[in-house]
């Protein structure tokens, strides 16, 4: 149960970060874009922090891949 909750939490975190990244890429307000990119980077840090606790290797790999994709998106 704890494992399921952790994975669900991290999936929601990634989904939210993905939404924020999309908004950051389309906003014309530089301050808002900076804050959104910062929030996305914090989400990536959260995922990497909890990554060692994910028991299933496939779930861990998928979450880390999605986190890396988000991180790349903040550098464009």
Q: For 15-72, what is each residue's pLDDT tens digit?
A: 999 999 999 999 999 999 999 999 999 999 999 999 999 999 999 999 999 999 999 9
Question: Which pLDDT belongs to residue 63?
Answer: 96
Cα–Cα distances (Å) from 26 to 21, 30, 37, in that order, read 9, 10, 12
76 — pLDDT class (breaks 50, 70, 90): low
Please give the Cα distance from 37 to 72 (Å, whole number).
Answer: 11
Residues 20 and 39: beta-carbon distance below 8 Å: yes
Residues 51 and 64: beta-carbon distance below 8 Å: yes
Please give the Cα distance from 11 to 66 (Å, whole number).
Answer: 9
Residue owning tokens 């950051």:
24
């Amino acid at each position: 149960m704890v494992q399921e909750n952790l994975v669900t939490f991290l999936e929601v975190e990634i989904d939210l970060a993905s939404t924020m990244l999309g908004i950051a890429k389309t906003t014309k307000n530089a301050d808002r874009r900076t804050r959104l990119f910062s929030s996305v980077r914090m989400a990536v840090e959260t995922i990497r922090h909890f990554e060692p606790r994910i028991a299933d290797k496939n779930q861990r790999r998928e979450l880390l891949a999605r986190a890396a994709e988000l991180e790349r998106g903040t550098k464009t």
